[in-house]
Structure 1
Amino acid sequence: MRTSCAKLVQHGPRGRAGDEVKGERVSEAPESAVPTATPEGGDQPPGEASSGGLEYAWTIATVSQKFGISASTLRTWERRYGLSPSARTAGGHRRYNGADLDRVQLMQQLLDAGIGAQDAAKVVLSLDPAGVAAALVDVAQLDAPTRGALSPELATETLVMAAAQLNVDKIGRTCAQVIQERNVAEAWQEVFAPALDQIGRRSKEGSLPRAAPHLAAQQLAVELGSAVRATRSRTDRGGAVLLASACRDEHWLPMLALQAALAQNGIASTTLGTYVPLEEVAETARLLESKAVFLWASTRQPLHLGPWRPLWNLDPRPHVVLGGPGWGDPAQHELPTGVEFCPTLGGAASLVRDHLD
């Protein structure tokens, strides 16, 4: 899916909405490019050569006409955000090459998607020419209807780019399609978790808007909730399975994913959410007569008996399944009877299902 720099130069810059402008080559004389030694509309004095050493390049007037962006806006992007052409003539006149045109197009598409100019410029400038070309391919796929099953790689890249554009509708539709095409446990491991990790990491690095991780998580939560509601009429009594985060762990999406995975197998469950003390988890399990309790932890949690006494003292004691990286390596600990650890969502769903039979 990645487009190389060589291919970009060979095929020329793309037009609007991801359509390729065929027949344009930097190494030949495209209609929209001028020899740097030839004047065009008075923009360049005769005989002036490009300081970037390019034989042919696009003037700012041509770029403005090509993309429908005023020359003053192009100059503003350069002055405020550093989005400048790669070359200038000896007289200081701007000259854009094919990679520069791709950057301008990507900037325009991100702005059209509703991303602020500063965040959009950060995204564009964080990518090398091959990355910009690949992003344009992704944007073209985002704008086109999705046909057929999404591979995990394409689904992940689609979610990341939709988050970069703050494209709420595309995030939701992609999540819904992934859930429809595969079981939720598989979708979490292969698509949602990797996508959320990339979005969060790139947001911290500054190449994605700060709001991107929150927006992606919220839309995924909506679609997981829809998957649960769609199966509610054919699921068992919800109280038999209780899902909660350990102590003050704030991560709640894995619980929603497990709830949806169980619902796909006809098992209803009750989710307590985050920041619920273990005493309240134990009390809820007692009142609902829960047969299984799933506890997710993404932050470090103790495995010694003390904090868990309220849950261990229940009679009958529900089977407890621990999930998430916060438990460290449970193999190094002696887990109490009736407690199991499973690192994957699918495995946790299977364990819970087994203890309901």
Structure 2
Amino acid sequence: MYDTAHGMTTGAVARRLGVSPTTVRSWDRRYGIGPAVRAGGRHRRWSPADVSMLEEMCRLTAAGVPPAEAARAALEVRSGAPAGGDVSVGGPPAPVAVEPAAYLKEPSPAPARRAAAGSGLPLGEVWQECRGLARASVRLDSPAMESLLGTVLEEYGLVTAWEEIMSPTLHAVGRKWESSDDRYVEVEHLLSWHISTALRRAAVTGPAAASPAPPVVLACVPSEQHTLPLEALAAGLAERGIPTRMFGAAVPAEALDAAVRRSGPAAVVLWSQARSTANHALARHVAGTTFGVRGARTAPLVLLAGPGWLGRPPGPGTARPEGLRAALGIISRLYEESAGSEAAGG
């Protein structure tokens, strides 16, 4: 409950917004986003108008607006917000007019610098929505992450959302983790979970659920735990009406062999993130697996996906796509050719 006499403390405001108290103090120090009145001249006490201002700051930065510009817009919220009342009830603050270009334009290249604790994620030149997702993930702001991911998938489609926003943010979190003595692991876990949730929602809403066509088998090779690229591919195939069977992380060789023989797939995608997990013998075995009636037996096309497969040319019955867009193109053409052959033979 809000204390109308003294206002909310910085810690209480931070908990309400889902950010750290350090972030709130930093906004005050850097951009003047502080309480209009300070108790005793020193301690921060936040009024309802102050909290509305911070809520708008969170909303704008999560949308990718640069913090300095978001702060200027957020200050307008306080200037027009009611002076009293309980901020724990009621609707969201009225939107502030911000130039549309602030959301859509690509930022100027940032100067190169070493990542340090508290300096943000090393993103470089990326889309504004990518910066917004990064800021929300560092704040552990789950509602903002969920909203932004849903918006970019709807507005840009799966491939662009993955290549320009999701994947760059994941890579930036990984680089930050590597350069900060194992900090930010919680950021990586939360971001991965939200991206996985968004991708699975996209896959479920695709038209491929009842397709009679043979599926695409998606699996990580043994010892490989990175599944998000496969989840992105599964969602992209669902958009195109192509059925999939997702087997996830670290699929044992025997289980993969059984899955291929039982499902009779048109293609098998094997993901390897590092050369230490790439299993070329297993890939050759899968590419040589045949099924179907005698005299008309077929074998799946094996896609060697991920950086772990680099260094060797793909063997017979295999292909190595360079990214999500290429993998979708290869598989889509495979199904189009199959449909054309059936139509010609029918």
TM-score grouping bracket, smaller chain normalisation? 0.5 to 0.7
SS at match of 2:185: coil
Partner of 1:341: 320
For residue 205 of structure 2, what is the amino acid of its counterpart? A
User: What corresponds to 1:351 in structure 2?
Assistant: 330
CA distance in structure 1 between the aligned counterparts of 2:74 and 2:175, rounded to whole angstroms: 20
Can you list the C-alpha shifts for 1:3-23, whole angstroms capped at 9, x where unaligned?
A: xxxxx9xx972345xxxx8xx
- Identity across aligned pairs (percent)? 22
3-state secondary structure, aligned to 1:161: helix
SS of the residue corresponding to residue 330 of structure 2 reads: helix
Matched, 1:161 2:135: yes
Alpha-carbon distance in structure 2 between the residues aligned to 1:252 and 1:139 = 38
> 1:248, 1:340 → 2: CA distance?
22
The 1-side partners of 2:179 and 2:313 are apart by 39
In structure 1, the partner of 2:151 is 177
Q: Is the 8 A contact 1:235 1:267 kept in 2?
A: no
Equivalent in the alignment of 2:299: 317
Report deviation, 1:305.
Answer: 5.4
Deviation at 1:138, TM superposition (A): 11
- Any gaps of 5 or more consecutive residues in structure 1? 1-7, 22-31, 33-58, 69-104, 114-130
Q: Structure 2: how far apart are the matches of 1:300 and 1:138?
A: 48
Alignment of structure 1 residues 140-159 onto 2, 5 Å: 151=104, 153-159=127-133
**Cα distance 1:238–1:311, how it changes in 2: closer, same or farther (>3 A)?**
same
Alignment of 1:37-52 (within 5 A): none
Question: Could you tell me how far 1:211 is from its partner in structure 2?
Answer: 0.9
Sort the Cα spacing of 1:160 and 1:345 in 2 relative to 1 into closer, same or farther, 3 A.
same
Is 2:201 the partner of 1:248? no
Higher mean C-alpha deviation, range 235-244 or range 145-154: 145-154
Q: Are the equivalent residues in 1 in contact too, given 2:221–2:279 (CA < 8 A)?
A: no
Secondary structure of the structure 1 residue equivalent to 2:41 = helix
The equivalent residue for 1:14 is 33
Q: Which residue of 2 aligns with 1:225?
A: 200
Q: Deviations over 1:5-64 (max 9, x none)?
A: xxx9xx972345xxxx8xxxxxxxxxx9xxxxxxxxxxxxxxxxxxxxxxxxxx994342
- Asked if the contact 1:139–1:161 (Cα under 8 Å) also holds between the matched residues in 2, the reply is no
Shift of 1:266: 1.5
Alignment partners' CA distance in 1, 2:173 and 2:213: 33
1:214 and 1:137 map into 2 onto residues whose CA distance is 32
After superposition, the Cα gap between the structure-2 partners of 1:218 and 1:170, relative to the gap in structure 1 and judged at 3 Å, is same
Number of aligned residue pairs: give it: 250
Q: Please state if 1:269 is matched with 2:244.
A: yes
TM-score w.r.t. the length of structure 2 is 0.61
Question: Per-residue CA shift, 1:124-155, capped at 9, x if unaligned?
Answer: xxxxxxx9758968999xx9799989646121
User: What is the rounded CA distance, in whole Å, between the counterparts of 2:317 and 2:327 in structure 1?
Assistant: 14
After the TM superposition, which of the residue ranges 319-328 and 248-257 deviates more from structure 2? 319-328
SS at match of 1:174: helix
How far did 1:327 drift? 1.1
Instruction: Kindly indicate whether the alpha-carbon contact (under 8 Å) linking 1:293 and 1:318 is maintained by their aligned counterparts in 2.
Output: yes
- SS of 1:211's partner is helix
Give the aligned residue type for 2:315.
P
Q: Tell me, in whole angstroms, the C-alpha distance in 2 between the residues paired with 1:139 and 1:197.
A: 30
Q: CA deviation at 1:308?
A: 3.2
2:79 is matched with which residue?
none
Q: Which amino acid aligns with 2:158?
A: V
- Cα gap change, 1:135 to 1:328, in 2 (>3 Å): farther
What is the aligned partner in structure 1 of residue 123 from structure 2?
none
> What are structure 2's unaligned runs of at least 5 residues?
1-26, 59-65, 76-92, 105-125, 291-297, 337-346
CA distance 1:228–1:66, change in 2 (3 Å):
same
1:1-357 to 2 correspondence within 5 Å?
Answer: 13-15=32-34, 61-64=40-43, 67=46, 133=68, 151=104, 153-206=127-180, 209-232=184-207, 236-237=211-212, 239-300=214-275, 306-315=281-290, 316-329=298-311, 333-357=312-336
Matches of 1:295 and 1:218 in 2, distance apart?
Answer: 21
1:282-334 superposed Cα distances (whole Å, 9 cap, x missing partner):
321111110111111111158785333431331122001111111124xxx34
User: What RMSD over aligned residues (CA atoms) do the two structures have, in Å?
Assistant: 4.1
Q: Give SS of 1:355's match.
A: helix
